[in-house]
Amino acid sequence: MLFSSISFLYYFLPTVLILYFIVPNKFKNTVLLFSSLFFYFYGEPTYVLLMIVSAVSGYLHGLWIEKAKARGGGKLPLASSIFFSLAGLLYFKYTDFFIQNANRLLNTQIPLLKLALPIGISFYTFQILSYVIDVYRGDAKVQKNVLDFLTYVCLFPQLIAGPIVRYTTIEEELKSRKHTLEGFSEGVRRFMIGLSKKVILANTLGELGTHFLNATEKTVLFFWIMTVSFMLQVYFDFSGYSDMAIGLGRIFGFKFLENFNYPFISKSVSEFWRRWHISLGTWFRDYVYIPMGGNRVPVLRWFLNVFVVWFLTGFWHGAQWNFILWGLYFAVLLILEKYVFKAFLEKAPAIVQRVYTLFAVTVSFVLFNADSLEESIRNLKGMFGLLNIPFSGIETVYYLRSYGIVLLIAAIGATPLAAKAFRRLKEKKAGKYVMTFAEPVFLLAMMLLVTGHLVDGSFNPFLYFRF
């Protein structure tokens, strides 16, 4: 079930809200758990049992780790939990990738399993792993209530596309959380902003990408337009989903951490990754990079640490070589920034730093947006005029005029300019008075516009479902 669907917005969510707020506090987690299981079952009936088994495994391993630690151990149950968690992820997500490459390397004909990827498996697996590792480290208390733990893993606001919510972030809120009118209204506002970003901007930009694929005319400019529109589509798609998840969490009394912080204003690639998909970046930092020694190791070992983390980051996104190359591309850039570009970037004007970062990130999305390594190479050649195609053409100009306003709004919306203007307006007495009435009207108008888009049956996928 998509957040951006009529069934979710007008049937599922209102029903859950009514049930949630009429039951006593001790039953609220029960309502959330069974609502979340239904939410997942609605879109993925085949694999709901897999999610439950994974969650129960994490719960039992947490108890085992706590018991073993009391006797001075804990490594065996930790290793067991990591093995069982990753085994499911590797089997469903990467088996065919390994078979394909084995067939190419060994010239064999092993048939592919063609397994459907369980929605959200990458996200809930990492949440379970973070829990058992934190219990082992002593950073989190073991959860002895199985219902509360299942609620944490299966919580529908962040279940299928993140952000990756760590147990320690909502540990106390699972036991007791406050529900206020202010929190509820803030949650609704945040959800509506995310929904509008997703449906109005991301979906429209996705249509432009479809037009590019179907276009008879390919030009250098059209390759650039397609790449930029895809980059903005991914941003508004995923950050919009994160906004909706954070907003829904707020409505139900949870405070999820931010997942995006205007990454396109970054002055370096390293800063970009502190602002983009924050929950994933910090997960790999805390559970892979730092345990390997981080940057407190000799230079060559640090190179290895960086390459391992970014290989895994790319591989996490998909079982294709272009995703691995995408991750290693960032590893190389981060090393170059530290040892080659650092002096130049520190002295360069801010505009130069931002242009460099945007260019590097834009190229990365060419790798990210392909179904194969060969397609990535072809698209890069197209962008840099190596396909013997014209710079522009009639069809290119047509689509640029048709979608130019949307691209401009998206580009501005990907910066903090609008948010800053809104805050400054609310700081003024007259502005605060006006916004008290104008904001609800604006959100209602956005809801009506979104509903119109959805009823019309417009292009409406969530890109990160495939991860």
Catalytic residues: 317
Tokens of 215: 């276009």
Please state, in angstroms and rounded to a whole number, the distance separating the CA atoms of residues 348 and 314.
Answer: 30
Q: What is the DSSP string of 70-134?
A: TTT--HHHHHHHHHHHHHHHHHHHHHHHHHHHHHHHHT--PPP--PPPPTTHHHHHHHHHHHHHH
Q: Which of 155, 118, 316, 317 is nearest to 246 (CA)?
A: 155
Q: What is the CA radius of gyration of the chain?
A: 23
Q: 241: buried, middle or exposed (CB in 10 Å: 19+, 13-18, 0-12)?
A: buried
Please state, in angstroms and rounded to a whole number, the distance separating the CA atoms of residues 331 and 333.
Answer: 5
Please state, in angstroms and rounded to a whole number, the distance separating the CA atoms of residues 417 and 423.
Answer: 10
Measured in whole angstroms, the distance separating CA 182 from the mean position of its chain's CA atoms is: 27
Q: In which region does residue 120 sit, left (phi positive, over 0), alpha (psi from -120 to 50) or beta (all else)?
A: left
Encode 132-151: b = buried (16+ Cβ within 10 Å), e = exposed.
bbbbbeeebebbeeeebbbb
Q: Is the peptide bond before 416 cis (omega within 30 degrees of 0)?
A: no
